[in-house]
């Protein structure tokens, strides 16, 4: 009875203030705050934005075991920063997302440095992997990336803007991608070639 009498004697303003206070407390307490979760340091955010990923191939693999067939996925992923660094990795897992994540981690472990002359490569070279071969040839500015499939993904992630390429032999995406990385890894700058020959750059270009 005392509680009911207090509610009856209370004025509308008091009731509004009391209910409004409860609503404000509910808004502050409910839902995620403005700050959200812990923010990542700027170095980590910069590292995430620096690398770009491209999925070259995702295959479903079936393995026959004692109890039947076991399904899994194999993902071939390329990672690069567009500034002369690129790598390729393979990930295997029972789910596609997990396979891609493993492929990204594997690709970052095998990064190679690509010497660039402007937007193209310094000289012609042949990359090999298994029965796959790919020829990489410098091109004039404005030519673009003349390549297809796995080779195009690797070259774009490496930061190559103008190049001519020709795939020879097997066209398996994984072997072509590895052959492209092999060719880019074996490129040499003019300074390195002159130093290995024991001459100056002027003498080499003469």
**Which of 14-28, 147-161, 189-203 tops mean pLDDT?**
147-161
CATH of domain 48-112: 3.30.160.20
Encode pLDDT of 185-196 as tens digits. Answer: 999 988 888 888
Mean pLDDT of 153-167: 95
Encode pLDDT of 55-99 as tens digits. Answer: 999 999 999 999 899 999 999 999 999 999 999 999 999 999 999
The CA-CA-CA angle for residues 119, 165, 124, to 5°, reads 70
Encode pLDDT of 28-43 as tens digits. Answer: 444 444 445 556 655 5
What is the predicted pLDDT for the residue at 191?
A: 85
CA distances from 149 to 34, 47, 140, 172 (A): 44, 27, 22, 10
**Alpha-carbon torsion angle 15, 20, 22, 26, nearest 10:** 160
Residue 120 has pLDDT above 90, yes or no: yes
CA dist., res. 121 & res. 16, Å (int): 74
CA dist., res. 27 & res. 175, Å (int): 57
Lowest-confidence segment of 27-36, 64-73, 104-113, 138-147 by average pLDDT = 27-36
CA dist., res. 168 & res. 180, Å (int): 11
Can you name the residues that pair with 60 across neighbouring β-strands? 73
| Overall pTM > 0.85 | no
Encode pLDDT of 42-58 as tens digits. Answer: 555 544 558 999 999 99
Residue 4 has pLDDT above 70, yes or no: no
Every domain of the chain and the residues it spans: 48-112, 114-192
Q: Are 97 and 118 in contact (CB under 8 A)?
A: no
> What radius of gyration, in Å, describes the C-alpha atoms of the chain?
30
CATH of domain 114-192: 3.30.230.10
Lowest-confidence segment of 7-16, 124-133, 180-189 by average pLDDT = 7-16
């Amino acid at each position: 009875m005392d509680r009911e009498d207090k509610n009856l004697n209370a004025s509308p303003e008091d009731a509004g203030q009391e209910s409004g206070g409860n609503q404000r407390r509910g808004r502050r307490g409910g839902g995620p705050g403005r700050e959200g979760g812990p923010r990542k340091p700027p170095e980590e955010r910069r590292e995430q934005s620096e690398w770009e990923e491209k999925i070259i191939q995702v295959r479903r693999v079936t393995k026959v075991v004692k109890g039947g067939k076991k399904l899994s996925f194999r993902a071939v992923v390329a990672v690069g920063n567009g500034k002369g660094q690129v790598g390729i990795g393979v990930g295997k897992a029972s789910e596609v997302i997990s396979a891609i994540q493993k492929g990204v981690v594997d690709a970052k472990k095998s990064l190679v440095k690509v010497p660039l002359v402007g937007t193209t490569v310094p000289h012609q070279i042949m990359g090999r992997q298994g029965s796959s071969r790919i020829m990489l040839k410098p091109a004039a500015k404005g030519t673009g990336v003349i390549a297809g499939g796995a080779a195009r993904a690797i070259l774009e992630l490496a930061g190559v803007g103008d190049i001519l390429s020709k795939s020879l032999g097997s066209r398996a995406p994984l072997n072509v991608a590895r052959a492209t990385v092999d060719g880019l890894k074996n490129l040499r700058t003019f300074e390195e070639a002159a130093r290995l020959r024991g001459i100056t750059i002027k003498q080499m270009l003469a």
